[in-house]
Amino acid sequence: MAAATPTSFTDKVIVSDEVAEFSPAIIDEMKLHVAKYPPERSRSALIPLLMLVQRERGWIDNAGVNFLAKFLDLVVTDIWETATFYSMFNLRPVGRHHIQICKTLSCKIMGEPAITDHICSKLGIHPGETTADEKFTVTMVECLGSCGTAPMMQIGFDYHEDLTVEMVDRILDLCQ
Amino acid sequence: MRLLKLRNQGRGHEAMEIRAIGCEPLSLKRMHLKDGHTLKVYRETGGYESLKKALGMAPADIIEEVKKSALRGRGGAGFPTGMKWSFVPKDSPKQKYIVSNADESEPGSFKDRYLMERDPHSMIEGMIIAAYTLGSQTGYIYTRGEYNYLIDIMDAALAECRDAGILGKNIFGSEFSCNIHTHTGAGAYICGEETALLSSLEGYRGHPRLKPPFPAVEGLYAAPTIVNNVETFTSIPQIIEMGGLAWRDLGTEKSGGTKLWSVSGHVKKPGVYELPMGYADMEKFIFEDCGGMLRDDKKLKAVIPGGSSVYIMNAEQILGKNVTLDYEGLVAGGSSVGTGGMIVMDETVDVMESTKNLTEFYKHESCGWCTPCREGTDWLVKIFDRIASGGGRPEDAKLMLDICDNIEGKSFCPLGDAAAWPIQSAIKQFPDDFKKWLTDKTSSNGVMPNV
């Protein structure tokens, strides 16, 4: 399934009435997204807005969902229904640098296992885990469209392609 | 939380080729131009002239040209584009929509990414021509969420168009008005399927919808909608410029024009190649154009020619067989074009393991809507896991084929078929790899340096 497993999701969600707050600049950015769709179809903006909430808050938390429910005039279950389907939505907090390593065929045969082993042993965590200082999370993901420059990883939204172990070291050193 | 900008600290694009072979670059025309993504360079190199020409044509004539071009959808299914467009009802009172499918997620395929990065205006021009042809005023570019940086590039390109009067009211002074917006997905392969894409564009889970009604009749917001791949839209201005027949004649009678191939895996020169349809032949392409095998002492073992969802081919099906690279040639050769995402594997790869990798992909990406696909892919992965941990049984090949048979043609959308085909073809073309695992419980080559 494209969604995170239910156990990891329900374990961590804290249900509360807290509503997230965003700056006027972010609200304006959200309104620009809503304006792309017909007025009665504002739900279309849900995925772009969830991406925005995640960009601002780091993950999709209960307060962010409560905000979107009010903003788009939906119920919270509508939002969780959509949010739990898509693999890019972090339903748990992640580290400041979210390292996503492509594990699909082209990367796999071009050296992904060595890259993954190196990153995980350097950070002392397994895929799916976050370092104790909350700096790094490592996630294994499916094809990111960088097969010709395999192996690759994405940190946040940044692509890093045609990787070697030495390049990985340099990139991780650049992560503050 | 803002993330640090670190983009491309790896070798990135320098590590691969982007070029046309056997034809003048059409879709790749601006790939190596400085600032090829800007409106200025696009117009200096003939951009938006096709749109001007199209605005002077009758919509029915444009559809006729696209039909004559024998352009088939470049997103994998290969459905004739002109025919798809002709399904849109002309007398519908509803708003109509044009959607560019930029949810490129097929393992092995990365061509659309470079089109959008370096030449976004070509796709936008194709979309505007399609909108004019079908009487639509609104278009969306549905981009996979991971391609976030491309959304910035396309937003900038769309803004340039609005400022220049190429989008908005009365385009080029005509009666026609149209606007196009970007939209982001959030990580779901299934949203490349056009009806799932529309569900996602409406803000729902990416579940496919029953067809019929087809999107051309009831698509986005239940209104007539055309969904085409990025490369398909990119081809439209070329067709209008050259005329449908001239464009078709670049390729073969049934497979018109040129096609982009994304080549990855064990070749010296991976990359995006533009080839005329009917390019002869696959062996020459791999061993000459793509530089041959990555490691000279390793022999070719397997090729997946069109992205993970097509039949895998063994070396005997390719070497000396003159397989032509077009829809008919690849079907005759035992596979299909798909998205043109060619994955080349040398003898270090064990095909049981590579098939396991792809099956894990389909299990992860199954939307869970229908039982055959959801349960079937899950069981297949469980069997593959057992085999890989040394618990293979001689009857497993038959068991897996049986499960595939219960998925193929029995699932709600083509994702189920796409999950079954790699396994069916792998067991058929590489029986020794499976036999070794199922009887000796080891991989075909003892050690697995890569997989």
DSSP string, B241-280: HH-HHHHHTTS-SSS-SEEEEEEEESBSS-EEEEEETTEE
Same domain, B77 and B223: yes
Among candidates B95, B221, B366 on the partner chain, residue whose Cβ is nearest the Cβ of A1 = B366
| ipTM of this complex | 0.93
- Please tell me whether the peptide bond between B212 and the residue prior to it is cis, using omega within 30 degrees of 0: yes
**Residue of chain A nearest B142, judged by CA positions:** A48
Same domain, B73 and B142: yes
Among candidates B7, B204, B262 on the partner chain, residue whose Cβ is nearest the Cβ of A148 = B262
Among B195, B228, B248, which residue terminates a domain?
B248
pLDDT at position B179 is 97
Can you give the CATH number for the domain in which B84 is found? 3.40.50.11540
User: Is residue B197 within 8 Å of B76, Cβ to Cβ?
Assistant: no
Q: Tell me the residue type at A77.
A: T
Q: Is B238 among the domain residues?
A: yes
Going by the DSSP 8-state scheme, the letter that residue B145 receives in this structure is: G
B92's tokens:
């519908």
| DSSP bridge partners of B253 | none
Same domain, B138 and B267: no
Among B289, B313, B346, which residue terminates a domain?
B346
Q: Is B19 among the domain residues?
A: no
Query: Which secondary-structure segment (H or E) carries B362?
Result: helix B351-365
Is B395 an interface residue toward A (CB < 8 Å)? no
Among candidates A46, A103, A155 on the partner chain, residue whose Cβ is nearest the Cβ of B6 = A155
Q: One fold for both A6-83 and A97-174?
A: no
Query: Which secondary-structure segment (H or E) carries B294?
Result: none
Same domain, B273 and B368: no
pLDDT at position B1 is 30
Same domain, B273 and B148: no
Same domain, B96 and B240: yes
Q: A116 pLDDT exceeds 90?
A: yes
Same domain, B339 and B355: no
Is A96 an interface residue toward B (CB < 8 Å)? yes
pLDDT at position A4 is 40
Can you give the CATH number for the domain in which B318 is found? 3.10.20.600
Q: Is B445 among the domain residues?
A: no
B42's tokens:
């696009």
Helix, strand, or coil (residue A139): strand
Which residues 12-71 of chain B have a CB within 8 Å of chain A?
12-16
pLDDT at position B300 is 97
- A97-174, CATH topology level: Glutaredoxin (3.40.30)
Counting the structural domains of chain B, the total is 3
Nearest to B270 by CA among A160, A104, A161, A148: A148
Q: A15 pLDDT exceeds 80?
A: no
Query: Which of B2, B4, B370 would best serve as a mutation to test chain A binding (most A beta carbons within 10 A)?
Result: B4
B355's tokens:
């098939």
| Residue-range domain boundaries for chain A | 6-83, 97-174
- Tell if the CB–CB gap between A105 and B368 is shorter than 8 Å: no
- Tell if the CB–CB gap between B365 and A86 is shorter than 8 Å: no
Same domain, B195 and B276: no
pTM for this predicted structure: 0.95
Domain holding B283, by residue range, is 258-346
Q: How far apart are CA B75 and CA B103, in angstroms?
A: 10
Q: Is B13 among the domain residues?
A: no
Among candidates A38, A105, A150 on the partner chain, residue whose Cβ is nearest the Cβ of B308 = A105
| DSSP bridge partners of B260 | B274
Position A12 confidence tier, pLDDT thresholds 50, 70, 90: low
What residues of chain B score a pLDDT lower than 70?
1-13, 445-451
Is A171 an interface residue toward B (CB < 8 Å)? yes
Residues of chain B contacting residue A139, judged by C-beta atoms under 8 Å apart: none
Same domain, B81 and B154: yes
Q: Tell me the residue type at B373.
A: C
CA of B17 vs chain A CAs: smallest distance (Å): 9
Q: Is B16 among the domain residues?
A: no
**Residue of chain A nearest B364, judged by CA positions:** A1
Which residues 178-237 of chain B have a CB within 8 Å of chain A?
181, 183-190, 200-206, 221
pLDDT at position B55 is 97
B271's tokens:
């990359």
Q: How far apart are CA B160 and CA B363, in angstroms?
A: 41
Same domain, B275 and B421: no
Same domain, B109 and B37: yes
Nearest to B125 by CA among B206, B30, B17, B256: B30
Q: Which CATH class is domain A6-83?
A: mainly alpha
Among B187, B216, B248, which residue terminates a domain?
B248
A86's tokens:
């898509």
Query: Which of A149, A154, A171, A172 would best serve as a mutation to test chain B binding (most B beta carbons within 10 A)?
Result: A149
Among candidates A47, A85, A98 on the partner chain, residue whose Cβ is nearest the Cβ of B184 = A47
Q: Look at the block and give the residue holding tokens 């959801």.
A: B374
**Residue of chain B nearest A97, judged by CA positions:** B3
Q: Is B383 among the domain residues?
A: yes
- Tell if the CB–CB gap between B365 and A2 is shorter than 8 Å: yes
Among candidates A56, A145, A157 on the partner chain, residue whose Cβ is nearest the Cβ of B110 = A145
Same domain, B374 and B408: yes
User: Is residue B236 within 8 Å of B129, Cβ to Cβ?
Assistant: yes
pLDDT at position B10 is 60
pLDDT at position B224 is 98
Q: Is B9 among the domain residues?
A: no
pLDDT at position B8 is 63
Which residues 105-124 of chain A have a CB within 8 Å of chain B?
105-106, 108-111, 113
- Please tell me whether the peptide bond between B215 and the residue prior to it is cis, using omega within 30 degrees of 0: no
Q: Is B21 among the domain residues?
A: no
Region A23-40: what's the mean pLDDT?
97
Q: A35 pLDDT exceeds 60?
A: yes
CA of B249 vs chain A CAs: smallest distance (Å): 29
